[in-house]
Amino acid sequence: MDIKGKKVIIFGGTSGIGLATCQELRARGANVVAVSRDPHKASTTMEGVRLAAVDARNSDAVSAFFESERQVDILISSATGGSRAFGPFLEMDIDGFKGSFDKLWGYSNVVRYGAPKLSDDGNIVLVSGTPARKMKPGQVALSAVGGAVEALARAIAPEIAPKRINVVAPGIVDTPMVALTGDDRAAHYRNVTKSHLIKRPGRPQEIAKAILFAVENDFITGTTIDVDGGWLQS
* Residues above pLDDT 90, as percent of the chain: 91
For residue 65, is pLDDT > 70?
yes
Could you state, in order of their start, the residue ranges of all structural domains in the chain?
7-227
Mean pLDDT of 81-91: 89
For residue 64, is pLDDT > 70?
yes
The CA-atom distances, in angstroms, between 165 and each of 28, 49, 82 are 21, 23, 23
Q: What is the pLDDT of residue 43?
A: 58
Beta strands in the chain (DSSP E): 7-11, 31-36, 50-53, 72-77, 118-127, 164-170, 224-227
Q: What is the pLDDT of residue 206?
A: 98
Task: Tell me whether strands 50-53 and 31-36 are parallel, antiparallel or unpaired.
Answer: parallel
For residue 21, is pLDDT > 90?
yes
Mean pLDDT of 134-143: 95
Please give the residue that has the higher pLDDT: either 227 or 79.
227
What is the DSSP secondary-structure string of 97-148?
Answer: HHHHTHHHHHHHHHHHHHGGGEEEEEEEEEE--GGGTSPPTT-HHHHHHHHH
Mean pLDDT of 15-44: 89
pLDDT band at 44 (very low <50, low <70, confident <90, very high): low
Q: What is the pLDDT of residue 59?
A: 97
Query: Is residue 192 within 8 Å of 228, Cβ to Cβ?
Result: no
Q: What is the pLDDT of residue 88?
A: 96
Q: What's at 75, amino acid-wise?
A: L
* 16 torsion bin: left (phi>0), alpha (psi -120 to 50), beta (else): left
Three-state DSSP state, 38? coil
For residue 145, is pLDDT > 90?
yes
pLDDT band at 45 (very low <50, low <70, confident <90, very high): low
Q: What are phi and psi of 233, to 5 degrees?
A: -95, 0
Q: What is the pLDDT of residue 48?
A: 85
Which pLDDT tens digit goes with each residue over 172-226?
A: 999 988 989 999 999 999 999 999 999 999 999 999 999 999 999 999 999 999 9
* CA proximity to 115, closest of 214, 215, 220, 9: 9
Mean pLDDT of 84-91: 94
Mean pLDDT of 76-97: 91
Q: What's at 157, amino acid-wise?
A: A
- For the structural domain made of 7-227, what CATH number should be given? 3.40.50.720
